[in-house]
Amino acid sequence: MFERGDHTPRWMWLLLDETDFVASTGHASLTRRGLIGSGRRYLMTLLVAGAVVGSAACSPTAEGDPRLNDNAAPFVLTGVTGIEQLCQLTGPDGHNDTIPQMVAGTDLGSMFQAGGKTWFTFGDTFGERAADAVGGQGTIWRSNVMAYTTDSDPSDCITFDGWITDEVGWAKELLESRKRPKKEITVIPTYGFEANGSMYLHYMSVKEWGAPGEWETNHAGLARSTDSGQTWEKLDTVRWPGDGSFQEVSVEKVDGELYFWGVPSGRLGGVKLMKVAESDVENLSAYRYFAGTSTEGDPEWSPESSAAMTVIDRETGELSVVWNDYLGRWIMTTMADNADAVMYEGIAPWGPWSEPISLFTQAELPGLYAPFMNAQYVADGGKTVYFALSIWGPYNVFWYKAELVRKD
């Protein structure tokens, strides 16, 4: 039987026997993408008619950046092993002394690179807390703060070089919030990125916290800094309504475009995808929303957010997506089912995405949430992945490593 490889032309592997294809992937749902059935009959017609089917006729995504290559072989990630906590990043007794910056308790810690540094953005932060305090409580409350580092060795934790601070040296609130219940209780940065020489934060304006994993947002938007994170301006022209998707996102740049994987507020919605050219990041009308695939399996994009299709149809929380060279795949760390920390494998940004592989369950690590990665924090060619993870009690961020198990 012919075996499909990473560079096999689309027309050839579409002719594979359906039974063999489904058996080899274990995912019969892939047939819905037009890889077999009508798509195969259509291509057979072209071949019989003498059509020229070659590299010129292939989807552009199949011949360009491998991160956009949906011709890749079936899923290769079979498990995650060797998960180990390396250190506590923040708070009392942490690897970094965060007491001078009045960071006794904080969470999240999503990461992005800009200006030769890696920036860690944190959520609600408290300067003083009781020793037995659990969750977001304390005094000297700031809705969001940021640290930075040039530490490129994740194996022995991450050492911060410094923080964005105010005039007295405390970690400074970057994005102002009203701190009024049922109006705007806080403003949380969900992910950052660099574009056009500036730094950007995607944030959500939280109207009210609810039950665990549930909250209501006013809107999500972008804020920009042109002075290395010292000051930030919320962009009124780039906002997404609070009742839609993209309230929390993960952002990656591919071939001059920014891809945003997003979820609704809370941890109860599925994942959708949008993209925009880097040069148009501040132009909301330039954003395009993944609206499904053609019969040939190519992604289709719509200017209407209402057309956005779900790429992972499962309850999902804080998410982090990076390209992994060891797998030759996208990987996503996130919350699944409003409970557990998991990892997904993605063939292309729009999928298909695998079933989740467990990192930790709530039973194993009570109070866990927000597993965040950064593409540079890997070892062994990407086989070892490092990530930040928040724990509700003691309400601080910890540093972990895990080893990916790849199918031979």
Report the C-alpha gap between 249 and 242 in whole angstroms: 13
Residue 49 has a pLDDT of: 36
The residue among 315, 312, 357 whose CA lies nearest residue 337 is 315
What is the distance between the alpha carbons of residues 329 and 252, in angstroms, rounded to a whole number? Answer: 14
**58 pLDDT above the threshold of 50:** no
Pick the CATH number of 78-406 from 2.40.50.140, 3.80.10.10, 2.115.10.20, 2.40.160.10: 2.115.10.20
Mean pLDDT score of the chain:
87
- Is residue 4 predicted with pLDDT exceeding 50? no
Query: Which tens digits make up the pLDDT trace of 62-73?
Result: 457 889 987 777
The SS3 of residue 57 is helix
> Where along the chain do its domains lie?
10-58, 78-406
Nearest by Cα to 101 from 153, 41, 163, 53 = 163
Instruction: Report pLDDT digits (tens) over 232-256.
Output: 999 999 999 999 999 999 999 999 9
Residues 330-349, mean pLDDT to the nearest whole number: 97
The pLDDT-based confidence of 54 (bands split at 50, 70, 90) is: very low
Please check the confidence at residue 46 and state whether its pLDDT lies above 50: no
Query: What's the pLDDT band for 28 if we cut at 50, 70, 90?
Result: very low
Report DSSP letters for 234-295, one per residue: EEEEEEEETTSS-SEEEEEEETTEEEEEEE-SSSSEEEEEEEEEGGGTT-GGG-EEEEEE-T
pLDDT digits 0-9 by tens, 278-308: 999 999 999 999 999 999 889 999 999 999 9
Per-residue model confidence as pLDDT tens digits over 170-185: 999 999 999 999 999 9
Q: What is the mean pLDDT of residues 264-277?
A: 98
Can you give the pTM of this predicted structure? 0.85
Per-residue CA distances from 179 to 207, 232, 350, 351 (Å): 9, 18, 36, 38
Note the pLDDT tens digit of each residue in 201-217. 999 999 999 999 999 99
CA quadruple 282, 283, 289, 295: dihedral sign: negative
pLDDT (mean) for 270-276: 98
Model confidence pLDDT, tens digit, residues 356-378: 999 999 999 999 999 999 999 99
What pLDDT does residue 71 have? Answer: 74
